[in-house]
């Protein structure tokens, strides 16, 4: 797919943990011949630069707390403000705690990958209870966070894709079809 003069566009994937941002993002980037960036990896690189130690985003959050993690996440977003032709996979709370900057938002389209809450909870728990869930009440903390985040995801989204049962191929196809329409509309 050629976007010719539309060189400034990026796609930002948002949604709760385990909604498919990384797998769909990688496939989108491959199809578009764009760069794929996982924001968690940028956070991890920043941490390594500052501390000379390699930790996963989950370990950073668990060891240093949410406030510290969100600070690194904000710095990571600032590094990416002027990216072009990129598919960016964000963390589930990224734009809840760090609203997108004007340059990043202006040059991007935001896609919210929505998943049925019960399907989403099963996906998450299959990998273990995340650090940001209350360990003694994971189901309740999941639903509380989801209720807080859904309105933000919906407000930021230029496109909402229900990825409950769609599969990677169908989700990517729908996003690419939508992107073609957006491109045609912006050029006419």
Judged by phi (left if over 0) then psi (alpha if -120 to 50, else beta), residue 86 lies in beta
Cα 15 from Cα 161, distance rounded (Å): 10
The tokens describing 23, both together, are: 């797998």
Helix (H, G, I), strand (E, B) or coil at 9: coil
Beta bridge pairs of residue 37:
88
Instruction: Give me the pLDDT at residue 185, please.
Output: 75
Instruction: Please measure the distance between the N-terminal and C-terminal CA atoms of the chain and give it in whole angstroms.
Output: 18
- Strand 108-114 relative to strand 10-14: parallel, antiparallel, unpaired? parallel
The domain limits of the chain are: 10-187
**Check whether domain 10-187 has CATH 1.10.150.20, yes or no:** no
Instruction: Give me the pLDDT at residue 51, please.
Output: 95
Q: What is the mean pLDDT of each run of 10 residues along the chain (188 residues)?
A: 60 94 96 95 96 94 92 92 90 85 77 95 86 84 93 94 92 94 74
Cα 48 from Cα 72, distance rounded (Å): 11
């Amino acid at each position: 797919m050629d976007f010719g003069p539309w060189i400034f566009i990026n796609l930002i994937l948002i949604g709760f943990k385990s909604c498919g941002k990384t797998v769909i993002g990688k496939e989108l980037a491959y199809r578009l011949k764009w760069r794929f960036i996982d924001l968690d990896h940028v956070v991890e690189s920043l941490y390594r630069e500052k501390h000379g130690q390699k930790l996963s985003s989950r370990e950073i959050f668990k060891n240093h707390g949410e406030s510290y993690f969100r600070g690194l996440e904000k710095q990571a977003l600032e590094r990416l403000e002027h990216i072009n032709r990129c598919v960016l996979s964000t963390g589930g709370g990224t734009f809840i705690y760090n609203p997108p900057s004007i340059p990043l938002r202006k040059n991007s389209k935001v896609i919210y990958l929505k998943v049925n809450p019960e399907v989403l909870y099963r996906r998450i728990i299959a990998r273990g209870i995340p650090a940001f869930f209350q360990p003694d009440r994971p189901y309740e903390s999941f639903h509380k966070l989801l209720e807080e985040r859904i309105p933000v995801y919906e407000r930021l989204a230029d496109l909402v894709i229900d990825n409950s049962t769609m599969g990677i191929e169908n989700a990517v196809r729908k996003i690419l079809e939508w992107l073609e329409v957006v491109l045609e509309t912006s050029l006419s």
